[in-house]
Amino acid sequence: LVLFLGGSTACGLAPSMVTLIGFRVVQGIGAGCVTPVTQTIISDLYPPAARARIQGYLSSIWTVAAVGGPLLGAALVTHLSWRWIFWVNLPIGFAAFILLNVALRGESQRHGHKIDYIGALLVATGIGTLMFALNQATALGTPLFIGLLSLALVLLVTLYFHERVVPEPVLPLQVWTHPIVLAGAVASFTVGAINIATAAFLPPYIQGVMGRDPIIAGYVVAAPLIIWAFG
């Protein structure tokens, strides 16, 4: 939360696009840490039979945020400043910080573990290289693009063989043999790809090509997510 709130604050104060991207990295690291810890806390606090219900609550909150977020963002950009898109996180984050310190009580149980640093590094560099190559494909040129794809493939293959022999892998391969987990991962990847692609494409198209206001772009992005809530 400290990383996320610090990154959000700095993003709102960014004087240039380069510094904004850098502070977004800090914000993203914080958000990336918060997400799995949230799932871990649920597993610690609730028995298996109750976890599905709690996940349903979280999904409903995500749905409200997904529908309200684009509209709120468009309103902030139209009536205040783009900087408030980042600063609006601060009161919510501080409230979460206070709630965690006041309400979360648990006994720490220490166990001897070996952290898979090499696996974590291979995951980050392999997937990071692949994402960079795909995102910058048109600007890189064919030789460099193919080279980065090859490097990503080598890193991910190395990850596969490393995770098979390490005592406590960061990415346990046997999990992916479970049909429900595998089907859920494929479905989540597909839905995520569609949502991210449309969310990234529609606002620039509506504002840049169609010449409409940001608030209209917010309406368009929010409309499909209302259907998502029923799903």
* Model pLDDT for residues 20-38, shown as the tens digit of each residue: 888 888 988 998 888 888 8
| Ramachandran angles phi, psi of 109, nearest 5° | -120, 110
CA distances 184 to 134, 151, 175, 181, 190, Å, are: 24, 28, 12, 5, 10
- Stretch 141-165: mean pLDDT: 91
Query: Which pLDDT does position 108 carry in this prediction?
Result: 67
> Nearest 5 degrees, angle CA 94-CA 2-CA 48?
80
Query: What whole-number distance in Å separates Cα of residue 18 and Cα of residue 25?
Result: 11
Query: Which pLDDT does position 130 carry in this prediction?
Result: 93
**Model confidence pLDDT, tens digit, residues 100-143:** 888 877 666 777 778 888 999 999 999 999 999 998 888 888 88
| Cβ–Cβ under 8 Å, residues 1 and 76 | no
- Residue 180 CA, chain-centre distance (Å), reads 22
- Residue 154 CA, chain-centre distance (Å), reads 25
| Cβ–Cβ under 8 Å, residues 199 and 221 | yes
Q: In 3-state terms, what secondary structure has residue 109?
A: coil
Q: Is the pTM of this model over 0.75?
A: no
Number of neighbouring beta carbons within 10 Å of residue 38 = 11
| Cβ–Cβ under 8 Å, residues 229 and 70 | no
Residue 102's identity, in one-letter code, is V
Residue carrying structure tokens 């606002």: 203
| Cβ–Cβ under 8 Å, residues 220 and 77 | no
Q: Which two tokens stand for residue 169?
A: 């892998």
List b or e across 77-108, with b for residues whose CB sees 16 or more CB atoms inside 10 angstroms: beeeeebbbbbbbeeebeeeeeeeeeeeeeee
